[in-house]
A and B are shown apart, each in its own frame.
Chain A
Amino acid sequence: MNGMDLPLWAAVPAALLLVIGGLLSVIGALGMLRLPDFYTRMHPPTMGTTLGVGSVLIASMLVSSALLHRPVFHELLITLFVVLSTPVTAMLLIRAAVTRERKPPEEQQ
């Protein structure tokens, strides 16, 4: 497999989508660095796991479909599993943070 037999109609949008996906992930990581506290830092990485992953997967579908000359769309399953599983980790993280911040019972009056 080489890049030469990839038709232009697939190559251009796929390249664009990959750049968008990469940018979103980088901005998400940058947000982790720049935002001030744990709760606000929860938000930016979500960009990488939603629209970021989404655009990379669409690019993958385009390129594989063009190269194999048949529709390839099992990448959709990755989206499905990511969407199903991220709430679990997100909730665990934020519950842990909330629990840590809670005062011990003797301090609460």
Chain B
Amino acid sequence: MSVQTKRTKLKRFLAFAPLILLFASTLNEFDFNYLNYKYFSFNFPFILIYYWSLKRSESLGYGYIFIASLFNDVVLGFPVGLSGLTYFIICGFAAYLRNITLRPDIVKDWLFFLLTILVATSINYILLTTFFSVNVNYYDLTGNIFFTFLLYYLFSYIFDIYQRFVFKEQTND
């Protein structure tokens, strides 16, 4: 097998990485809580869904996001459909930003991400507390939003590098 074929196969596999990461993160809910830092936690699926809906929406199909949201509801013990609604609000905001953006700018994306997660988490919080009478610690949630917002910049940078490596040839075609 030539080196070129091997490379193409690797890239084809890597093209599925966002989807694999989405399912792994919703099933595992990895947020480094075990480090036991008092207010540190972040929502990786939010970063992933926003970034890929904004930059390359075909990498994460809405159908797959819906299945991942069902998994997340089960893992977290949420009512069925709640994570789905939150994820699709993020997708909607990202799609809107994509439609109105002529020249992409990381800072603008980043600030819009803050607005997006504030709206999505607020809806999630209101539904949980009023509709399902579940208590949620407001301060923890604020910490979660803050760190998710901060880490978006870092992950966005990593995803940009990954995108240049994996999808460069496809974009040039």
The answer to whether A binds B is no
Q: Which residues of A contact B (CB under 8 A)?
A: none
Q: Which residues of B contact A (CB under 8 A)?
A: none
